Amino acid sequence: MESSSSICLLLLLVLALLQTDTTIGAPRAQLIEMPCGKDREANTSIFTVNFVTTMEAISDQMRTTGYGEAVTGEEPNANFGLAQCYGDLTLVDCALCYAQMRSLLPQCYPYNGGSIYLDGCFMRVANYSFYDEYRSPQDKAICNSNGTRKSTKFQESARRAVTDAAARAPGNGGYAKSQVLVPGKANESAYVLANCWKKLSQSSCRACLDSAVSSIIGCLPLSEGRALNTGCFMRYSDTSFLNEEPQSPGMLKGKIIVIVVVVLSAAVLLAIGAAIAIYARKQKIIEKKRKGSTDDAVKMAKLLHDSSLNFKFSVLQKATGSFDEANRLGQGGFGTVYKGVLADGREIAVKRLFVNNKHRAADFYNEVNIISSVDHKNLVRLLGCSCSGPESLLVYEYLPNKSLDHFLFDTNKAQALLWEKRLEIVIGTAEGLVYLHENTSNRIIHRDIKASNILLDSKLRAKIADFGLARSFEEDKTHISTAIAGTLGYMAPEYLAHGQLTEKADVYSFGVLLLEIVTGRQNNRRKHVDFSDSLITAAWKNFQMGTVETLFDPNLMFHHYNNESDLKKDASRVIHVALLCTQEIPSLRPFMSKVLEMLLNKEYNLPAPTNPPFIDENTMELNDNSSASNPFHAISCPSVASVSHSSFYPR
C-alpha cells in the first residue's frame, strides 16, 4: 500500500506543479447563481457517462479558445453543453473559472440540466439543443443588497456605461466593457461588462442585452448589479473588476506589455527597469522548474505505468461494468463509489472523481496522503489508484455490508444490529479515532464522522472511510482555522460558527453517532437542522428527566436477553457518554482515548454532562470552497443562488 500511494502522491504533486499558474489576473470564479432544471434524467448511468464526456470535450475547447460546446448521446439522455468565459479573461484565468463551474454544476443531479453564472464565465447543460435561446421567464437581475446607495451622478454614469456596452457588444463578437467617470468625482467611475454567448446572432445578442439593460437598471441606486439572462450576462459596479483585455486569445504568460510614456523621470524608469528584471528572473525560475517538473512527470508516469500497484483506467472501467449504476455503492466525499470485480476475481471498491482539475486534485491528493499514512484495523485500506487515465480513481478494499446507515436507519435491516453488535461497532469506531487523533506523528481530524462513513465488513465490524475532508496538523498546534466542511447535524458548534478545528470536532460528531446507534434515529433528517428539535436535544431532555429508555431503538429487542436490565444500563451509559461528547464547550468534551476508556470500563465513574448547544444552524452561513465538491448532489430546490455549500449531501 505504501508503494502504491507514494507513486500516486508523487505523480499528483508533479501534476500540481505542472498546473501551477502565475499569470496576473482574476478568473472571477465567484458563484452568482445556479438554477437547475426541473425534469429528472431518464437513465442515471447513461446520463452520467454522457455528462462526463461532454465536460471533457468542452474542457479541451475552453483551454484553447475560451469557449466550448459539445453534444453527447441521444435524447432523452443526450447532453448538450455550452461554456464561455467573458472577453476580458485570459485562457489561464478561463481554465480556472471553468474548473470551478465544472465542479459545481453536477450538484444539479438528478435533474437533467442547469445553468451556472460566475463573475467570469457561464455554462449551461440540458438534454435538448438550447443554443439559439436568449430569453426565458427565468431571466433576472441580482442586485447587491449589501452595497452602498450611490449618488444621482453615479447612477447617471452607470446608465450611460450600461447603455454604451450593450450598444457596442453585438458588433464586437458579443463582448464589450465600458467605464464612465462620475462627474465631479475624479476617482470614481461606473464599470460595466456585457457579454453574449457566441452562438447568438447579432440581432439575438442585441435583444438579450436590451432586456438585460432594462432589468439591471432596476438595481440602481445600489453600487452593483448583475443581469443573468438566458443568452447574455451584464454587470455594473462602482469598483473596477475588469481585467486588462488579452492581446490575443488567452495571452500566454511571459509576455510583457511595455507602455511608452513620453515623459518619465529617471526614478520611474529605474523602478520600471527593476520591476521588469525581477519579473524576468521569476519567469526564468518558473520555466526552469517547469522543465524539471516536465521531466519528472515523464519519469513518474513511466514508473506508475510499470508498477503492478497501478490500476489502468480501462481495467477499473471494465471491473465496474463501465461504472454501471447497478454497481454503485454510494457517494464519497468528492466522488461516487462503485463495486468492481477484477479479472482474478478480487472484489474492490472504486472511488470515482468526476472532475479533473487542480482544485479537485488537491482533494484527491489529500485523501491519498491521509489514508496512505495510516494503518489500523478500523480504517478502510487503500489498495492503489489510477491517475493517468481520463479520470482519477482510488481503489479500496471492498466491504460487502456497505455502510452503517444502510442497517441503522432501515427498519428491517436494523434487526441484525443487536446490542452486542452495535456496541462492537461503537468500540471499533472509537479505536479508529483514537488512532487518528493520538497514535500518528501528525494528528488527523476526520471532519465527517457519521453513519454513512462507517463501513462494515462481512462480520459487521466497523471501518472508518472517506478521508476526503480529513486534515492533519502537528503537535504544537492548538487548532486549525479552516473553511467549514462536514455534514449539518454532525458539526461541532465552535467549528460551524468560527471554523476552529480541533480533535473535539470529531468527538462531537462521534457523540451524535452514538445517539444514532442507540436510538436508530438520524440526527439530520432535514438539510437544515434546528438544534431545538434535534436528537441531541431529545437525549438531553430525557437524560435530565431520567427517561432515556424511551429513546432506545425498538429493534434492539432487549427482551431477548437474560440480562435485559444490564443491557439497558449499558445503552443508557452510551447515551451518557454521547452527551459528554456533545457538550457545547469544547474543552469539556473528553478526548477519544478517554471516551474509549469510558465505553470499555463499566466501573468508570462518568461525570455529569453540561448542556449541548441550543442554537439554530439555519442562521449560520456555511462556506466550503475547497471540498464542497461532490459531483452529483440532489438539491431540493431549483436554484441554489447565494447558498454557501458545506456537505449537505451524503458523503
- For 547-581, write each residue's pLDDT tens digit: 999 999 988 877 667 778 888 899 999 999 999 99
Cβ atoms of residues 209 and 56 within 8 Å: no
Q: What is the pLDDT of residue 145?
A: 78
With CA atoms as reference, report the closest residue to 404 among 425, 384, 432, 387: 425
Q: Which of 39-48, 64-73, 181-190, 523-532 has the lowest mean pLDDT?
A: 523-532
Residue at grid coordinates 465600458: 178
> Which is higher by pLDDT, 550 or 628?
550
pLDDT of residue 268: 36
Beta strand 175-182 with 232-237 is unpaired
Other C-beta atoms closer than 10 Å to the C-beta of 474 total 8
Grouping H, G, I as helix, E, B as strand and the rest as coil, residue 633 is coil
Do 97 and 28 touch, CB atoms closer than 8 A? yes
What's the CA gap between 252 and 638, in Å, rounded?
38
pLDDT of residue 192: 97
pTM recorded for the entire structure: 0.52
pLDDT (average), residues 511-526 = 86
Cis peptide before 76 (omega within 30 of 0): yes
What the chain holds in terms of domains, given with CATH numbers, is 31-126 (3.30.430.20), 140-237 (3.30.430.20), 303-398 (3.30.200.20), 402-615 (1.10.510.10)
Confidence tier at 4 by pLDDT (50, 70, 90):
very low
- Which tops the pLDDT comparison, 35 or 4? 35
State how far the Cα of 457 lies from the Cα of 85, in Å rounded to an integer: 47
* CA nearest neighbour of 430 among 650, 594, 556, 540: 594
Per-residue CA distances from 391 to 109, 310, 385 (Å): 19, 14, 11
Q: Count other Cβ atoms within 10 Å, centred on residue 13.
A: 17
Confidence band, pLDDT 50/70/90 cuts, at residue 210: very high
Task: Check residue 33 and give its pLDDT.
Answer: 94
From first CA to last CA, the distance across the chain in angstroms is 24
Q: Identify the pLDDT of residue 473.
A: 59
For residue 275, the model assigns a pLDDT of 43
Q: Are 651 and 448 in contact, with CB atoms under 8 Å apart?
A: yes
CA 589 vs CA 113, 388, 428, 595, 611: distances in Å: 45, 44, 20, 9, 11
| 541 pLDDT tier (thresholds 50, 70, 90) | very high
Helix (H, G, I), strand (E, B) or coil at 53: helix
Residue of 112 and 15 predicted with greater confidence: 112
Is 351 marked as binding a ligand?
yes
Give the dihedral of Cα atoms 373, 375, 378, 381; nearest 10 deg: 80
Helix (H, G, I), strand (E, B) or coil at 639: strand
For residue 132, the model assigns a pLDDT of 92
Tell me which residue has cell 453513519. 451
Query: What's the whole-number mean pLDDT along residues 473-477?
Result: 49
The 10 Å Cβ neighbour count of residue 362 is 14
Work out the angle at residue 337's Cα, subtended by the Cα atoms of residues 17 and 329, and round it to the nearest 5 degrees. 175
Catalytic positions are 448
Whether residue 255 is predicted with pLDDT greater than 50 in this model: the reply is no
Average pLDDT, the chain: 77
Query: Can you give the pLDDT at residue 130?
Result: 94
More confident residue, 347 or 295: 347
Which is nearest to 22 in space by CA: 295, 294, 287? Answer: 287
pLDDT of residue 47: 77
State pLDDT tens for residues 62-83.
Answer: 988 999 999 998 878 888 999 9
Q: Give the tens place of pLDDT for each residue, 417-435.
A: 989 999 999 999 999 999 9
Write the single-letter amino acid at 550.
T
Least trusted range by pLDDT, from 84-88, 357-361, 621-625: 621-625
